[in-house]
Chain A
Amino acid sequence: MRVLALALKDIKALTVNKKELLLHILLPALIVLMVAALFGGEPALYGEVVLVNHDGEGMAEIFMERLKEERGLKVLVTDQNEAQRKLMSSEILMFTEIPAGFTETLSQGEPPEIKVYRRGVGGSSGQMLLALLKAILAEMSGEVQITRLAQEIAAEHGENPLQDQEVLIPFMESFLRSARLNPTVKVEEIPLGRPQNMAAFFISGVMTLFMVFTATFYAQNFVEEKNNKIMERYFFVGLSKGEILLGKFLGCFFRGAFQLVAMLLVAVLFTKVLSGVNLIYILSFSLVFIAAVSSVGIFIGAIFPKPGQALWASIIFTLINSALGNTFAFARTETALVNYINYFTISYYANSGLRGLITGDGLLFSIKGEVFILIFITVLIFAVSGAVFSPAENS
């Protein structure tokens, strides 16, 4: 009971301290909101295709309609100057010009021509877009060829209803529509997990970063309490070393939990980033991670004699865990040295678990490895802290 009172005192101290409230609760919540606003929204498959339509006739319209039918592709029609301005200012990496006479060329059965303006190779999404444009054009061209062939065959076989253009054209359109619905190549799309989303990626990174920082920053308070003899007071009111350490650990844990709830509330109430995600799982896993980083905070507090040293240790620990551990970036190759170093960062397991829950299959069971490692880290570091901690100096 006294251990709990000791821990709850830290929450009370946090709520009455405007600076700490701002740093550990409000700021993380605002950053989550900002990340969701910057990177949120519906995921795009290929991104955006920017078109300049100089033709303005039927085939160009059909071409644009077919592009719009592609899932996840945003079609933006603009004029040549605007498209060039965007390209030159790097707002876009490529745009496509449908030249005048496009419909006429295509209708005559000749190869259709479009122009693609790009910076470099147009980026990886540009390469995919180009392939898509070619495929649609090839399909349209093929359809025109078949229709023309059917016309020629009908003409060669004397009297029959298909010689009449008003009969032939609707017949061919119906035939080709049917062909499109039953393509020769079938690709079955099997969604696994939730769509990859930049906001979800960054939000798990931001959450990890702040959870690490708040827990390790607590080490400074811990050392201050040792130095100004508050810890000795605990000892004289009958608390054992273990009870003091556990109370401080829980105090640190509760602060982290308070911060986590604030971040999750913002993410859920003001954004759609976590819609459809099991929040109980996110909460449970994050609490396991908070326990692990709280034990690190207690350890830093237990070993350093001066608050400034503890603060620097917590800043360095946070920086390492933000720069590594896949917090905000992945290594380009599987075998990169940094991938091996990542295994030694605590944030690696947090990010892996959180992303598994947010964008993976969302099941706690599937991240049991991460949960186990974080619990192991918590117990190990807490035990080591107990061995090195003393409520009084020089005892």
Chain B
Amino acid sequence: MIEMLNVVKKYNGLKALDNITFSVNREEIFGLLGPNGAGKTTALRIMSMLVKPDSGEVIINGMHQKENNRRIQGLLGVCPQEIALYLELTVRDNLLFFGMMGGLSRKKAVIRAEELITEMDLEEKAREKVSLLSGGMKRRLNIAVSVIHKPRVLFMDEPTVGVDPRTRASIFSLLHNFKNNGMTIIYTTHYMEEADRLCDRVAVMDRGRIIALDAPKVLKSSLDPTGQISLEDVYLKLTN
């Protein structure tokens, strides 16, 4: 679904991404792991076309990013770490607004908004202002708004930072649903347990390079054939 080929990105002369190459398969949950400054967010922003690489190629759904900017744009959805919502508007109004922004007619946006309100378990709060929702509800709505236009690829930048275990579990459940409905998800996180549980494959990044890439189970068994080691141990070993 996504191919990153020899991508380089520098900020002030420092290499944020150092010639990285990897691919993400269709309908998989792909994790980008690494310490702060490893280049996860830069990689995510380049894949999602928010940042242009200095060199290299990005191919999404068979289309080169440089030549098919607008066509690719409609395939993508991004769920930022921040609550990117209009706090003074209601849950329903936010979904309707972003649905219409996503090119849906008002009628279709209403139907889609109701679908997502049910899916996110926000029925009772549909008429409430977002500012009055709990943190977990805001997170769920943040995700709902990201998929209102039914993107094929969803980029999520640490969506579980600061959320309680219950909300985290409900987010995992949502992501599995999205995956089962044909969505490809690229996910950055600091939580190894979370990546182990959720991701089909993970790429461990350090200093702008990918130092390991495989399914969590394979990475663990490569370092400890008994399988007793955790992904966190693998991560710590790889990143010193």
User: Which A positions have Cβ atoms within 8 angstroms of B?
Assistant: 2, 5-6, 9, 12-13, 16-17, 227-230, 232-240, 392, 394-395
Q: What's the Cα separation between A235 and B103 when bound, in Å? A: 12
Q: What's the Cα separation between A229 and B75 when bound, in Å? A: 18
A395-B80 contact in complex given A9-B86, A236-B151, A238-B70, C-beta closer than 8 Å: no
Evaluate contact between B73 and A235: CB separation under 8 angstroms: yes
Evaluate contact between B93 and A12: CB separation under 8 angstroms: yes
Evaluate contact between B82 and A229: CB separation under 8 angstroms: yes
Q: What 0/1 readout, one digit per residue, does chain B (75-89) give for beta carbons within 8 Å of chain A?
A: 011101011111011
Residue B172 CB within 8 A of the other chain: no
Evaluate contact between B82 and A392: CB separation under 8 angstroms: no
Evaluate contact between A2 and B80: CB separation under 8 angstroms: no
Evaluate contact between A230 and B84: CB separation under 8 angstroms: yes
Closest Cβ–Cβ distance, residue B20 to chain A (whole Å):
18
| Interface size class of chain B, counting residues whose CB lies under 8 Å from the partner chain | 20 to 34
Which of the listed residues A9, A12, A239 has the most CB atoms from chain B within 10 Å of its own CB?
Answer: A9
User: Which B positions have Cβ atoms within 8 angstroms of A?
Assistant: 11, 45, 48, 50-52, 70, 73-74, 76-78, 80, 82-86, 88-89, 93, 97-98, 100-103, 129, 145-146, 148-149, 151
Evaluate contact between A5 and B45: CB separation under 8 angstroms: no
Evaluate contact between B97 and A238: CB separation under 8 angstroms: no
Evaluate contact between A228 and B78: CB separation under 8 angstroms: no
Q: What's the Cα separation between A17 and B83 when bound, in Å? A: 19
Chain A's closest residue to B155 (CB) is A236
- Cross-chain pair count, CB within 8 angstroms: 76
Question: Which residues from chain A contact B93 at a C-beta distance below 8 Å?
Answer: 12
Q: What's the Cα separation between A239 and B69 when bound, in Å? A: 12
A-B contact pairs, 14 of them (CB 8 A): A13-B88, A228-B80, A228-B82, A229-B84, A230-B84, A233-B146, A235-B50, A236-B48, A237-B102, A238-B74, A238-B102, A392-B51, A394-B11, A394-B45
Q: What's the Cα separation between A392 and B76 when bound, in Å? A: 15
Chain A's closest residue to B154 (CB) is A236
Q: What's the Cα separation between A13 and B151 when bound, in Å? A: 27
Q: Which of B45, B83, B149 contacts A237 (CB 8 A)?
A: B149
Evaluate contact between B80 and A229: CB separation under 8 angstroms: yes
Q: Which of A2, A229, A240 contacts B100 (CB 8 A)?
A: A2
Question: Which residues from chain A contact B88 at a C-beta distance below 8 Å?
Answer: 13, 16-17
Q: What's the Cα separation between A2 and B100 when bound, in Å? A: 7
Question: Which residues from chain A contact B83 at a C-beta distance below 8 Å?
Answer: 228
Closest Cβ–Cβ distance, residue A236 to chain B (whole Å):
5
Chain B's closest residue to A14 (CB) is B88
Question: Which residues from chain B contact A227 at a C-beta distance below 8 Å?
Answer: 82
Evaluate contact between B50 and A5: CB separation under 8 angstroms: no
Question: Which residues from chain B contact A394 at a C-beta distance below 8 Å?
Answer: 11, 45, 51
Closest 3 pairs between A and B when the two form their complex, measured CB to CB:
A229-B80, A237-B102, A392-B50
Q: What's the Cα separation between A236 and B140 when bound, in Å? A: 18
Q: What's the Cα separation between A233 and B147 when bound, in Å? A: 10
Apart from A232-B50, A233-B78, A238-B103, 5 more pairs, CB < 8 Å = A5-B100, A16-B129, A236-B151, A238-B70, A395-B45
